Amino acid sequence: MQIAVIGAGSWGTAVSWLLGNNGHDVRLWAREPEIAEGINANRHNPTYMTDVVIPQRVFATPDIEQALAGSEAVVMVTPSIGVRPTAESMKPHLGSAVPIVVLSKGVENETFMLMTEVLEDVLGGRERVAGLSGPNHAEEVGKGIPSATVVAAHNEGVGRLFQDAFMTPTFRVYTNPDVVGVELCGASKNVIAVAAGMSDGLGYGDNTKATLMTRGLAEMSRLGKARGANPLTYMGLAGMGDLIATCTSRHSRNRGLGEHVANGGTVASFEQETNMVAEGAFSCVSVDELAHRAGLELPITHWVRAILHGGASISSASDALMGRQARDELHGMDLVAE
């Protein structure tokens, strides 16, 4: 197929490498003209994933109309805060039936929409929109290190189309009709990873991180249940799989943000130093608000938000979490799919 990849950061670079090597003709939209020029001239992204050799089948352009022209499918890889404005820029140049898969992980702060819902709101066509999520660090996917992921789509045919497009000997793709669950997993696990990074920054041990991850998964599952997600999705690649990778990996931006903050940094200084966006910095607000609207208590998420945006100290968060009232471990959870 001819596929447009919208976004030329680390993930966009890795996805372009994957799709180009899988026999597809890729047009990669880069917001910065110098990135597009560098890719076309030297076959390397000059800013992100600089060691990856980008296939000749990939053509980069700063012109979104040129990137979309003739495309049979679209892959969106912008930060979540950029999905709506980018989709609005795409709208005049995109056919009404072209399938779109979004790899961005987040919940829109103003509307509390998932990324697929934002695309549907701007571009129309619920049946043509899908989401892809899983334990997929760009730094590993772009080197052909064995990985797996999930494509969630309302339309089985669209799910299969993107499954076939992405599937390679080193990148295994599963499908799942639970779009809400897969997307909520992707957004909420980033918040837990920030907390895990704070634990690392404070020098806490494996016990602490394991506790944060498992109780974080409980929070994720409660929110998913309230939004009608399949609880079994949280046991799969988009849930537990991505949570493990994001909370433990040296590649994880969100874990790195938490460690950076624990050592005295801020969200702004992290972005300035890394030239990257940690989605958990935004998702902690929107996921916390979703919980409040559903009458749920997500204590880890609440405290990550309070630390990043409310001036709370990590020590006060630790004391509050460890001092919570004793509960049954499975309170508020339903582990049986209906």
Q: Which CATH number characterizes residue 52's domain?
A: 3.40.50.720
Q: How far apart are CA 300 and CA 191, in angstroms?
A: 8
Q: How far apart are CA 277 and CA 14, in angstroms?
A: 16
Residues 227 and 122 in one domain: no
Residues 170 and 195 in one domain: no
Total of domains in the chain: 2
Residues 231 and 131 in one domain: no
Which residues partner with 174 through β-bridges? 150
Q: How far apart are CA 144 and CA 198, in angstroms?
A: 30
Q: Check if 209 is active-site.
A: no
How many beta carbons lie within 10 A of that of residue 25, not counting itself?
Answer: 18
Residues 113 and 168 in one domain: yes
Residues 24 and 173 in one domain: yes
Boundary of a domain, candidates 150, 177, 204:
177
Q: What is the CA radius of gyration of the chain?
A: 19
Which residues partner with 27 through β-bridges? 4, 59
Q: CA of 79: how far to CAs of 138, 191, 311, in Å?
A: 14, 15, 25
Is position 62 within any domain? yes
> pLDDT by residue for the chain (338 residues), tens digit each?
999 999 999 999 999 999 999 999 999 999 999 999 999 999 999 999 999 999 999 999 999 999 999 999 999 999 999 999 999 999 999 999 999 999 999 999 989 999 999 999 999 999 999 999 999 999 999 999 999 999 999 999 999 999 999 999 999 999 999 999 999 999 999 999 999 999 999 999 999 999 999 999 999 999 999 999 999 999 999 999 999 999 999 999 999 999 999 999 999 999 999 988 899 999 999 999 999 999 999 999 999 999 999 999 999 998 889 888 888 888 766 544 43
Dihedral, 100, 274, 137, 47 alpha carbons, nearest 10: 60
Using an 8 Å Cβ cutoff, are 267 and 285 in contact?
Answer: no
> What is the DSSP annotation of 212-228?
HHHHHHHHHHHHHHHTT
The residue with tokens 């979104």 is 64
Residues 249 and 279 in one domain: yes
Reference 194, options 282, 105, 258, 284; nearest CA is: 258
Three-state DSSP state, 194: helix
Q: Which of 105, 143, 189, 209 is catalytic?
A: 189
Q: How far apart are CA 264 and CA 266, in angstroms?
A: 7
Using an 8 Å Cβ cutoff, are 58 and 16 in contact?
Answer: yes
- CATH number, domain of 217, equals 1.10.1040.10
Is position 261 within any domain? yes
Residues 17 and 118 in one domain: yes
Which residues partner with 152 through β-bridges? 131, 176
Residue 201 belongs to what domain range?
Answer: 188-322
Is position 336 within any domain? no
Three-state DSSP state, 62: coil
pLDDT of amino acid 275: 85
pLDDT of amino acid 101: 98
Boundary of a domain, candidates 151, 177, 203:
177
Residues 269 and 208 in one domain: yes
Is position 293 within any domain? yes
Q: Which residues contact 17 (CB under 8 A, 6 or more apart)?
A: 49, 52, 53, 54, 55, 58, 141, 142
Reference 188, options 148, 151, 225; nearest CA is: 225
Is position 335 within any domain? no
Residues 230 and 258 in one domain: yes
Is position 50 within any domain? yes
Residues 301 and 213 in one domain: yes
Three-state DSSP state, 124: coil
pLDDT of amino acid 277: 83
* 10 HSE (CA, 13 A, CB side): 17
Residues 194 and 169 in one domain: no
Is position 68 within any domain? yes
Give the burial class of 4: count Cβ atoms within 10 A of its Cβ; 0-12 exposed, 13-18 middle, 19 or more buried: buried
Using an 8 Å Cβ cutoff, are 151 and 128 in contact?
Answer: no
φ and ψ at residue 255, rounded to 5 degrees:
-60, -40
Is position 327 within any domain? no
Residues 72 and 21 in one domain: yes
